[in-house]
Structure 1
Amino acid sequence: MSSPGPDPRLSLRDNDLSSRDMGPVVRAASLRGLPALVDALGGDSAALLARFGVTREAVSSDDAVIGVRSAGLLLETAAAELGRPDLGLLLAERQDAGVLGPLAVAIENARTLGEALASASRFLFVHSPALSIAQVADPEEVRGVLAVRYGAAVDGAAEPLPLPPQAADLGLGLLHRIILLLHGGPYGLRSAHLAHPPLVPVTRYTDFFGSDVRFERPAAVLRLPAALTAAPVAGGDRLLRTLALDYLESHFAEPGQTVAGRVRGALARSLGSAPPQVADVARLLRLHPRTLQRHLAAEGTTFEAVLDEVRRDAAHRLITTTDLPFAQVTAMLGLAAQSGLTRAVRRWFGTTPTRLRAGRRGS
């Protein structure tokens, strides 16, 4: 294969996660474990990596990035030449959250699995702006179940495009492994969905995920018990998490994101953990509180309005997709009393929390 042209390794600096020469990029650490795996399967990892302009040093680095397309082609080529169509799953078994760099610190030190998933969703662009994780409604429409969707984010599209099969197996497999490790064991996975047909006997997938696996679906998702978002993460350090989030916020502002969007993300992560204050969010965003308020005013909104939107969205998700007691929902929204939840739900949705939940059950 001819040389890919530009050196695919780049220094990962603030927002330096795209290249006009390569297109979208991903941290080279996403391939961590691949060289050893290829060699263990009888291949020549040095020669394989060289064909795609990737070095072992790049894969071991926390700073290097490579083209998303090159990474996908490398996985597909390795799987075909080694005769291991389950290569993506094999590599996922060798990885953990550490491949995500600074994002791993925020995830592993979250208070709850919900916080960890929110951090992954908010900051996955630090790993690659071409990838996305999002909590979405259950595609099977089962009450008390939510789906975590993984895919390729393209130009802000609402629905991610399918990834190459090996990349999809690796990404969804790694997401499953991270949740498993954070939870300390099986977490009640209902089923996993993949967009491609099975690459190996289905039992290989069911053994890996420990649940039913369904193929040729619209998107790659893990279907989880909605109540799992409240499950605690053992061993987390709040100070480390705060420092990690502070670092991510200050060093990796998402390209094109508004100040309101950054405030919304900060509030969504901290909702229910402490009274939401302008000064605290401003400090996280490295802005003076008055400067933050001026930016929000220029965007046609206020801190209070953004907070209300965040609470509204969280309330709808918690009420319609979980069976959590309303007192717990109240606390998770950072409201002082359950009567405040009732008033807010009436204002947002024109009904009561009980009727909103019942309406979802009857739909």
Structure 2
Amino acid sequence: MPFIRSAGLRGLRATITSLDGDADHYARLGGLDPAALDADDILMPDLAAATTLELAAADLDCPDLGLRVAGHQDLSLLGPLALAIQNAPTVAEALECTSRYLFLHAPAMRLTLEPDPDGVDGVAALRYDVTAPGVAPPPQGTDLCLGSLHRAIRSLIGEDYEPLGVDLPHPPLAPPATYEAFFGAPVRFDRPSALLRFPSRLNDVALTGSDERVRQLALQHLADLSPAEAALVAPTVRSAVDQLLGTGAPEIGAVARMLSLHPRTLQRRLADEGTSFALILDEVRSSVARRYLETTDLPLSQVAGLIGLSEQSALTRASRRWWGQTPLAVRRVAQSQRTVA
């Protein structure tokens, strides 16, 4: 079971108390040690943290609980990673550093800078995956994480940061106006991923007050904290395949070029890690397909194209192999679960 640092729930006790609730009660109910609500460096199961948020939101009739908790958070919750981010020379380098070392805060979380999903020139998207591939993201937890990321970027850039739009992979938990007031931008729901859309030019914005010496010390500390597994190539290949899926069927040559490796070298390194490019491609396709099927109403033919399959029949065959049922059956189960919820 993945664990996250308890800093991720900073502000939850204060928020629950403001709603006349008993924070310790909800922590125990969700499977958390209440001490995790008052410290930053306790390791807690991510499922217990997500469950605590969902239970408290429902019982206290506070559908925007995740956003309220995010309002209490800032970059400092990331510990030494915050130092490296704050002292990066540009926004792009701050985001790259966050993407590289976010696993130290929460192993399952991933931050990826992508082209705009709507294909608008001059617009970039910062995608935030809060769970491991194939695991449905918890709604309150997603609101909390994306809300905290939004606030962190604003604290870095200042008033120049104005998001153009926000995507969330679940229905609105609170009135849409509540979300739009928090993010200061239009919000779309039931989308494939949680992401922030903003002008690409912001990547080149220089961060004021950065200190290269402090940054290098922080980066060295982060590298010392990183396990040997951080050097594995498979996670990087998985991320690259995920980015390339919407553009067609990813090929190992294209991924190898992204990693500055020869395709044979890449295959050999993957084999040494007990996997292969074909296996990773299949795993990513399965994860992305399930997300589209469970969170969107896109036609099956379009879902097939988005995961690099040539036709709908190929998606149907793959779906039977992955889950033992058709894509339509997967979608119907997800819809029925949302109805019950």
TM-score normalized with structure 2 length:
0.66
The question of whether the paired residues in 2 share the 8 Å contact of 1:151 and 1:161 is answered with no
Shift of 1:260: 11
Q: Which amino acid aligns with 1:45?
A: A
Q: Which amino acid aligns with 2:124?
A: L
Distance in 2, Cα, partners of 1:180 & 1:186: 8
**Which of these residues, 197, 202, 220, is aligned with residue 246 of structure 1?**
220
Partner of 1:117: 95
1:260–1:39 Cα change, 3 Å: closer
Distance in 2, Cα, partners of 1:198 & 1:48: 23
**Which of these residues, 10, 29, 32, is aligned with residue 10 of structure 2?**
32
**Which of these residues, 15, 18, 21, is aligned with residue 43 of structure 1?**
21
Q: Report Cα offsets for 1:59-82 as digits up to 9, x if no partner.
A: 333321100110100000010111
SS of 1:136 mapped into structure 2: strand
> 1:106 aligned to 2:68?
no
Partner of 1:349: none
> 1:192 aligned to 2:166?
yes
Distance in 1, Cα, partners of 2:12 & 2:228: 29
SS of 2:229 mapped into structure 1: coil
Shift of 1:224: 1.3
Shift of 1:298: 11
Give the number of the structure whose residues are more often helix, by fraction: 2
**Which of these residues, 91, 114, 119, is aligned with residue 141 of structure 1?**
119
Distance in 1, Cα, partners of 2:187 & 2:206: 26
Q: Report Cα offsets for 1:78-100 as digits up to 9, x if no partner.
A: 10111100000001111001111
Shift of 1:187: 0.9
Partner of 1:235: 209
The question of whether the paired residues in 1 share the 8 Å contact of 2:91 and 2:207 is answered with yes
Number of equivalences: 241
The question of whether the paired residues in 2 share the 8 Å contact of 1:189 and 1:222 is answered with yes
Q: Report Cα offsets for 1:272-311 as digits up to 9, x if no partner.
A: xxxxxxxxxxxxxxxxxxxxxxxxx99979xxxxxxxxxx
Partner of 1:283: none
Unaligned runs of 5+ in 2: 237-264, 270-341
Distance in 1, Cα, partners of 2:266 & 2:204: 36
**Which of these residues, 164, 167, 172, is aligned with residue 146 of structure 2?**
172
Larger-gyration structure (1/2)? 1
**Which of these residues, 67, 78, 87, is aligned with residue 89 of structure 1?**
67
> 1:204 aligned to 2:167?
no
Q: Report Cα offsets for 1:155-200 as digits up to 9, x if no partner.
A: xx5xx75411100100111111000010112513110000101111
Shift of 1:259: 7.8
1:78–1:143 Cα change, 3 Å: same
SS of 1:184 mapped into structure 2: helix
RMSD: 2.3
Unaligned runs of 5+ in 1: 1-22, 263-296, 302-363
- 1:4-15 aligned at under 5 Å gives the runs none
Shift of 1:261: 8.7
**Which of these residues, 198, 211, 223, is aligned with residue 197 of structure 2?**
223
- 1:203-352 aligned at under 5 Å gives the runs 203-253=177-227, 255=229, 257-258=231-232
Q: Which amino acid aligns with 2:223?
A: E
- 1:57-76 aligned at under 5 Å gives the runs 57-76=35-54
1:183–1:82 Cα change, 3 Å: same
